[in-house]
Homo-oligomer: A and B are copies of this chain.
Amino acid sequence: MGATILDVAKLCGYSKTTISRAFASPEKVSEKTRTIIYKAAKEINYTPDAIARAMVRKKTDNIGFIVADQQYPVVLNPFYSPVFEGVLRTCKEKGYSVFIASESDIHISTGQVYMKKQMDGVIICGQTDKATIESFKSQNIPVVLLNNIIDMDDLVCVAVDNYNGTVQAVEHLIQRGHVDIAIISGNFSPNVYNARYRAFVDTMKKHGLEIDERFVKRVEPSLEASMECTTQLLAQKREPTAIFATNDVIAIGAMKVALRAGYKLPEDLAIVGFDDSDYSEIVEPELSTVRINKLEIGKVASERLIEIIEGKAAEKEVILSETTLLVRATS
């Protein structure tokens, strides 16, 4: 079937070692030889076998991008998909390929534990537990945690500065003169949820503003849930003049309800989202939101991971990616 290094060796008279070198480290072979070898290889359609190479080098040049099952649709997920793109780009640049896996992919059939290790390292996204991380480490597979913060030795975490992002959004609303500000929180992982919620509360307090309990909502981050919630919110005698939604989808649900009820945005109601997903520019009027540099998060996480794979000692670190407030047309 596939030609092997031996076939090439036989064909052109060099030893298999030289053939190997011609492909793995061309600079160690004279140009003349190289040319001959490549020609022979081409003739019989030879390509180095990555598996055999990985076997002996103990390195696959692959990394895994692992997403918890609950968060599946990795790729459909407007947050993770740009992050993933960032990972892809830097990996490509550094010569790595990337696998997508869900948590269940990393457990072998015997049940209990672990994974099939075809990767030199992994980026774990969002929810996990220490045990999972430990199991990777115990197999000498470096881990970088993304969009989550767990307190463990030698663990690099890359996440969003949710707290400050929220402060930016809420202060902006306050500066615009809003006092009756509602929050619709998405039901995210504790880390994310807490940071955004606390920041909202703290910022309101800091500015001497009261938080009306009826203005504090928590929903699944879907269009429908948000629409239902917003409908209730606007049905109260005392209405908020501004809504801070904890992500763009929620914000857009709120927009829909307001628009259909004939509100003018932002005159009658200001809305600010979080994420700066593609949706925010798609929508009309365009949504004010807190921008997360998702590509960069992916980039940083994979850079750190690759450094560790390539020998740098892992040191405990939390990298918080800065957010930017994007004031567009809804606030």
* A47-B284 contact given A26-B109, A97-B105, A99-B98, CB 8 Å threshold: no
Q: Are B108 and A48 in contact (CB under 8 A)?
A: yes
- A267 vs B42: C-alpha distance in the bound complex, in angstroms? 63
Q: Does A252 belong to the interface (CB within 8 Å)?
A: yes
- A23 vs B108: C-alpha distance in the bound complex, in angstroms? 9
A118: which B residues are within 8 A, CB to CB? 50-51, 54, 60, 62, 97, 118
| Mask of A176-204 contacts with B, CB within 8 angstroms, 1/0 | 00000000000000000000000000000
A260: which B residues are within 8 A, CB to CB? 284
- A2 vs B101: C-alpha distance in the bound complex, in angstroms? 22
How many chain copies? Answer: 2
Q: Are B279 and A279 in contact (CB under 8 A)?
A: yes
Q: Are A47 and B139 in contact (CB under 8 A)?
A: yes
Residue of B nearest to A248 (CB): B282
Q: Are B100 and A42 in contact (CB under 8 A)?
A: no
**Residue from B52, B60, B75, B108 in contact with A88 in the complex, judged by beta carbons closer than 8 Å:** B75
A116: which B residues are within 8 A, CB to CB? 47-48, 50
| Mask of A260-273 contacts with B, CB within 8 angstroms, 1/0 | 10000000000000
Query: 10 smallest A-B Cβ distances: which pairs?
Result: A50-B116, A50-B118, A75-B81, A47-B114, A51-B54, A45-B138, A279-B282, A1-B140, A55-B55, A75-B84
